[in-house]
Amino acid sequence: MSNTNLSWRVCIYLGRGLCSNCGDTVKKALSVRVHRCDHCGYTVDGDENATRNMLQRALVSLFQNKMLSYAYDCFFS
């Protein structure tokens, strides 16, 4: 297994525990393939839920990096 493949699997595992719709923690066994949130009722394939969480985190990280870059340019350019 390559490092990229391993990293991808770790990200999917970590993203499984959160509801991508409301952000609440959802505990479920790895064998459970469907994400069902008791808090908001959101139901979706477990891998899709994990992928949505990863995408949201990536977008937030990208936005924060852009904002930091902009702030740095304002103060130090």
Give the interface segment with Zn ion, choosing from 8-16, 18-26, 45-53, 58-66 (CB under 5 A).
Answer: 18-26
Of residues 22 and 71, the one with the C-beta less far from Zn ion: 22
Distance CA 77, CA 72 (A): 8
Distance CA 8, CA 20 (A): 17
Q: Which of 12, 21, 47, 54 binds Zn ion (CB under 5 A)?
A: 21
Residue 39 sits in the site that holds Zn ion (CB under 5 A) = yes
**Residue located via tokens 């852009």:** 66
Q: 3-state DSSP helix/strand/coil percent for the chain, to nearest 5? A: 55, 10, 30
Nearest distance from residue 21's CB to Zn ion, in Å? 5
Which residues sit at the interface with Zn ion, rule CB under 5 A? Answer: 19, 21-22, 24, 37, 39-40, 42
